[in-house]
Structure 1
Amino acid sequence: MDTTSLAVDYPALHIFWTMLELFLWILWFFLLFKIITDIFRSHDLGGWAKAGWLVLVILLPLIGVLAYLIARGQSMGKRDVEQAQQTEAAFKAYIRDAAGSGPAPGAAGGGRSHVDDLAKLADLKEKGAISDEEYQRAKDKLLT
């Protein structure tokens, strides 16, 4: 079979329809995995309820997914928001921990962190209040 007969046998509308079917197939699997993840993440469901929803979603996927979305769609959204908030809080805590909460008690700087002092020095240098040499000396003094 040559390529010209292949192009005639499969017109552009069929290509569009095939791409639409592929997109909907991928969308379906995404929704199915999202629901299965939500079933296991849900703390208000017991073990038997989780097993029941999982069996329903796997054995009768269309009915199971639609029933789950109707019955538990709102709580699914709330769990997503809670998860996002927990992730953001953990990320902020990690950033605070990585940046350091300041020098140890009794250290130079009166409880302020070196990062704050360096930021103030850089700001003074940008405004022209101190020269490059003064900035470098103060920076070296802070870092030693």
Structure 2
Amino acid sequence: MDYPLLNIFWTMLWLFLWILWFFLLFRIFGDLFRDDSVNGWGKAGWCIFLILIPFLGVFVYLIARGKGMGQREFQMRAQAEQDFRSYVQQAAAGSGPGPSSHVDELAKLAELKRSGAISDQEYEQAKAKVLA
């Protein structure tokens, strides 16, 4: 119980900085391994530098490649957004005009003809329109 308040503050600060350091280190390793412009030897060199001299390695990486980190992150997010939009469009197109919707339209027309709601001539015109 003999731990002054200021020591608790400093301990919390150092713990926070230590956790922040690991987040930064993971972010750098993630950026390094996602970057296709760096070959395998370059990635290995950066990894060795970051592991053997972590503080200097992180600072040098941020100075040398920091601007590109933001650009690569932006491009990755833009590509993910584009992939999501194209997936949604493809999924929506599956329920829209397509082979399965033609079958559904023809089934509805056949049901209308069978119930007498439309005549044979109207059925043939609508069928030709769907198949066109």
Q: Please report the TM-score for the alignment, with normalisation by the length of structure 2.
A: 0.69
Matched, 1:30 2:27: no
1:13-37 Cα offsets, whole Å, 9 max, x none, are 2222111111111110010011111
Out of 35, 44, 47, which is 1:42 matched to?
A: 35
Matched, 1:68 2:66: no
Displacement, 1:40? 1.1
Identify the residue that residue 115 of structure 1 maps to in structure 2. none
Higher relative contact order (CA closer than 8 Å, sequence separation 6+)? 2
Q: Please report the TM-score for the alignment, with normalisation by the length of structure 1.
A: 0.64
* CA–CA distance in structure 1, aligned partners of residues 33 and 55 of structure 2: 19
Displacement, 1:89? 1.2
* CA–CA distance in structure 1, aligned partners of residues 32 and 77 of structure 2: 17
Displacement, 1:80? 0.5
Matched, 1:104 2:123: no
Query: Identity percentage over the alignment?
Result: 54
**Which runs of 5 or more structure 2 residues have no equivalent in the other structure?**
106-132
Structure 1 runs (4+) deviating above 6 angstroms are: none
Identify the residue that residue 86 of structure 1 maps to in structure 2. 79
Displacement, 1:94? 2.2
Whose helix fraction is larger, Structure 1's or Structure 2's? 2
AA matched with 1:80: E
- Count of residues in correspondence between the two structures: 101
Matched, 1:52 2:45: yes
* CA–CA distance in structure 2, aligned partners of residues 39 and 19 of structure 1: 30
* CA–CA distance in structure 1, aligned partners of residues 22 and 74 of structure 2: 22
RMSD (CA atoms): 1.7
Displacement, 1:103? 2.5
